[in-house]
Structures are given as C-alpha cells and as structure tokens.
Amino acid sequence: MWRRLSRLAAKSGSGTLSTTRIGWRNFGNGVPSEKMSIMFELRDHAGSLPHALKFFSSNDISLTRIESRPVPTASNNFKFYVDFNGDPNDPNVIKLVKELKNKCVDVRVTDSKEVPWFPSRAEEADSLSKNIIGSDTGELEADHPGFHDPVYKKRRAEIAKIALDYKYGDEIPRVDYTDQEIECWQSIYQKLIPLYEKHACEEFNAIWPLVEKNCGYSATSIPQLADISKYVKARTGFILRPVAGLLSARDFLYGLAFRIFFCTQYVRHHSKPLYTPEPDVAHEVMGHAPMFAVQEFADFSHQFGLLSIGASDEQIDRIARCYWYTVEFGVVQQQNARKAYGAGLLSSFGELQYMASDEPEFIDWDPNVAAKEPYPITKYQPKYFVAKSFEDAQNKLIEFAERIERPFNVTYDKSGKLHVDSNIVQEPKL
C-alpha cells in the first residue's frame, strides 16, 4: 500500500465543468462594463425558455453565454446559466431580475469570487512537479523500510534529481538501475504476471502484450519512462513525466488536465520487494502505464484533471476520493466476474488476490457516494466500487461533474492549453 493520495481526501475535453461569476472587462471607451451572471430555474414545458429570454431582449440586454443543466432533484426542471454585460444597479438589470423572479422557480445573481490558481499551459507542469510533499532529497518517513539505510536514501536523492532537473518537452532521462534494484523488480514482476489473465480487466490484458513488447518490459529489465511515454502518447495522447516524490492532490490532478501523468522512477526498498508505502516505478509502470495506453481509460483519467481545474479545496477532496476508488482501486464487472483496472490492484499481487476473494465489500460505482468515502492507506481496501463498464464509469463521472458548481467552463486543446470561457480571477500562485 502507499501514500500517493494520502493527502487527497477527477466532462471530457469539450465538457462543461461549471457555470457562473461576475467579473470586469474594459472596452475601448475606457468605461468598465461588468460581466454579470445569473441562474434561473424553469419547469420544462413548451415555450418556457423563449418566454424567459424575452425579458433579456425587452430590457435591451445581450447574452454572451447560455448553458442549461437538468435539476437532479426535480426531473422536469432545468437550470439556465446566463452571462451578459451589465451593471447590477442599472434599472434594466433590476427590472430583468424582478421579471425573472415572477416567472421562474428560482433566480440567483452570482457573486464575484476568485478561484485557486491553475496552470493554463502544459509547460507549467514543471512548476507543479517541484512541489514535493515532505522532501525531494531522499528523506523518508520513519516507518519507511529504507529509513535507516543511508545507501538507499542517497540513491533516492540521485533519482529525485533527475526528475527535478527535467523540463517539459525534453526526452525523459534514463535511469541505470542497479542489480539490486532489478532483483527487487523481478520479484514483483514474476508475482504479478501469472495473476493478470484471471484478475485483470479485458482492456488491460489486451494492451499488456503490446506494452510489454514495445516498451522493454521483462523480468530482468525495468522499462524506462521515456520508452513507455512515447508509446502511450502515440496511442492516447497521454505522456508520462518524472517526479521526485509525492505531490499534493491539486498539483497531481492538475497534471491530468494536460494529459500528463506524474511518475516516480525510484524502486522500493529491497528488504520488502512486495510492499511499498508510496508509489514507486513498479507501481507506475505495472499498474498505471498500460491502462494509459487504453483510449477509454485515458479519457476517463483526463476528466479528473479537467474537473480539478480551479476547484475549491473541498471539491478537490471529493474528486480525489473518486480518483482513489477508480484509477487507483477501480473494479469493473466483466464476464460475470469482478476484474481490476485500478493501478493499486494491478501492481500489488497481494491485494489483487484479496480483491478476487469474498472478504472485501463491493459497491456499485457511484461517485456521489465515493466522494464521501474515506479510505485506508496502510492496509488493503475494505471496500471497492464496481463499474458495469468503462462507459458506465465515465458517464457517472460526467453526471457527478455536472453537479459541481464552477465559475467557468474549461476545455483542453491538443496543443496543450486550457481555455476558460469567463473572465475569471485567479488567486495568487502559492
């Protein structure tokens, strides 16, 4: 078990992540025009929306954006989010709000508010990768198997420096792994391979031979992130990026928004080859990397990143729990059996066998439930969320995302940039 998400409590590229805010824009005449946002709820019947929109035109108010969402608690109602340029003290705006309140179930003019800083370009992943929790010099927690091993700690610091010196767009440096590290890797590899056919999901078993063949996997060779990243990028657009250690929930999820997966390159301590309290290269390349070469899974993971952009701390906690119960420890129902797709399972022969038993509790995948569910980090999971399919997992995550209030919509383009549709204000970068 390990702690990547121990500090964590994740719509597609064109999907909606949120709604409204008030901000300021300056136009050519130098007079500030306030960008206002309003939400109104209507019962779904013929002509209800056109009738409401007439209030805007009759008050000489031009819309800059409109978006609709169903109301989960009222199946026949819809919420409409509208942006327009105006002044809250303008008589026409006051009249508009009054008319809408007389016609609609609910009307709210949103308040201006800052959102946490977030990167807008993939290159900014360099700054995210520097925010290591604890230490980036090889220092370990007291309960770590290598805590009293100065040679291991020195080696960790050497490998950490590779990640800290790396810049976005560079080729990932190769690590010359020692005989001891390869021996540790071999113990893990040989334990896991026989379990995949029976306990791993169909998508993993379909991609595994290709990843193994094209990326240098073998019992006597630890594959290099550079080779895996090239292969994965060609298939799904995701890339791997070296990182020196644990990142915060926010920084880690932000990387996913740019289709970047932060990966460690160090090997767990040789004294306990079948245990690690943190993610190591075996966890990354056995558990995560093959699934990122599967398009449906890569897109699913990308959604977690987009959902995290500008999210509040409380929202990050909820997203992180959903990530934990899917990307890390997700289970899917296939061929009348439960199969693993989460990396924490696919990289742990002990937990993979435990998941296949009747001992843990199995719950239908529901992000609204998972978002509130705490989890242990030092023992096997007492419960797993089971999706009917990857499509089921993704659709439910989209529904979950639509219920999270956001002050903007965000989209990602293949050039590595995020675009937001509102004039938002970001808090200073910490």
Cα(107)–Cα(97) distance, integer angstroms? 8
The interaxial angle of helices 225-236 and 295-308, nearest 10 deg, is 90
* Active-site pick, 347, 348, 351, 422: 347
* Active-site pick, 328, 348, 351, 422: 328
Cα(329)–Cα(4) distance, integer angstroms? 12
Q: How many helices (H) and strands (E) does the chain have?
A: 16, 13
Cα(162)–Cα(172) distance, integer angstroms? 9
Which phi and psi angles does 290 have, rounded to 5°? -60, -40
Structure tokens at 169: 């767009």
In 36-90, which residue ranges form alpha helices assigned H by DSSP? Answer: 48-58
Structure tokens at 350: 């002990």
Q: Confirm whether residue 270 is marked as ligand binding.
A: no
Query: What is the DSSP secondary structure assignment for residue 173, as one 8-state letter?
Result: P
Please say if 199 is a catalytic residue: no
Q: Confirm whether residue 148 is marked as ligand binding.
A: no
Q: Confirm whether residue 427 is marked as ligand binding.
A: no
The set of residues, in sequence order, having a beta carbon less than 8 Å from that of 354 and lying 6+ positions away, is 360, 380
Comparing C-alpha atoms, which of 375, 429, 17, 1 is closest to residue 251? 429
* Active-site pick, 37, 283, 284, 308: 283
* Active-site pick, 144, 199, 269, 288: 288
Asked if 38 and 20 touch (Cβ cutoff 8 Å), the reply is: yes
Q: How many CB atoms lie within 10 A of CB 29?
A: 7
Residue carrying structure tokens 């379990």? 195
Please say if 48 is a catalytic residue: no
Please say if 347 is a catalytic residue: yes
Cα(306)–Cα(355) distance, integer angstroms? 30
Please say if 202 is a catalytic residue: no
Specify binding-site residues. 283, 288, 328
Query: Which residues are catalytic, by number?
Result: 283, 288, 328, 347
Specify binding-site residues for Fe cation. 283, 288, 328
